[in-house]
Amino acid sequence: MRHRVKRHRINRPRDHRTALLRNQARELVEHGSIMTTVSKAKALKIFFDKLMSKAVKAASTDDKIKSMNLRRQINRHLGDRRLTNKFVDEIASGHVDRKGGYTRIIRVGYRRGDGAEMALVQIVGSEEG
């Protein structure tokens, strides 16, 4: 039975899975879109949307202490203060009026080497990639 099992495990141990999701989130913030497999994209969407919700709250609040606390929580996952500031100030400030659904998954075909289904993950609003 699958009661209360809501996590995409993507066939990796917990520490490897969290490191993978953090690295992909960093690349998504830095580049705006990344190419990955569909299963990793689905796991990344859940992880990144939670980070983006915190970033939107940090961008929209006037309370400096609350904003700083949210930035620290985001920085715990991204690991780079410069990237965290770019995430909150540039990316999340454009999504303040949005209630959710910050990422888009577009299936693009199959990888030639092993036949894995590939997907393009984009931040909604940055369609240049």
pLDDT of residue 105 exceeding 90, the answer is yes
Strands of 117-123's sheet, edge to edge? 33-37, 117-123, 103-110
Q: What's residue 128's pLDDT?
A: 53
pTM above 0.75, yes or no: yes
How far is Cα 28 from Cα 43, in angstroms, rounded to an integer?
13
Average pLDDT in the 20-49 region?
Answer: 96
HSE-up of 118 (CA within 13 Å, CB side)? 12
pLDDT of residue 129 exceeding 80, the answer is no
Closest CA to 10 of 56, 45, 57, 59: 45
Average pLDDT in the 109-117 region?
Answer: 95
pLDDT of residue 108 exceeding 70, the answer is yes
pLDDT tens for residues 1-10? 989 887 788 8
pLDDT tens for residues 38-97? 999 999 999 999 999 999 999 999 999 999 999 999 999 999 999 999 999 999 999 999
Q: What's residue 8's pLDDT?
A: 82
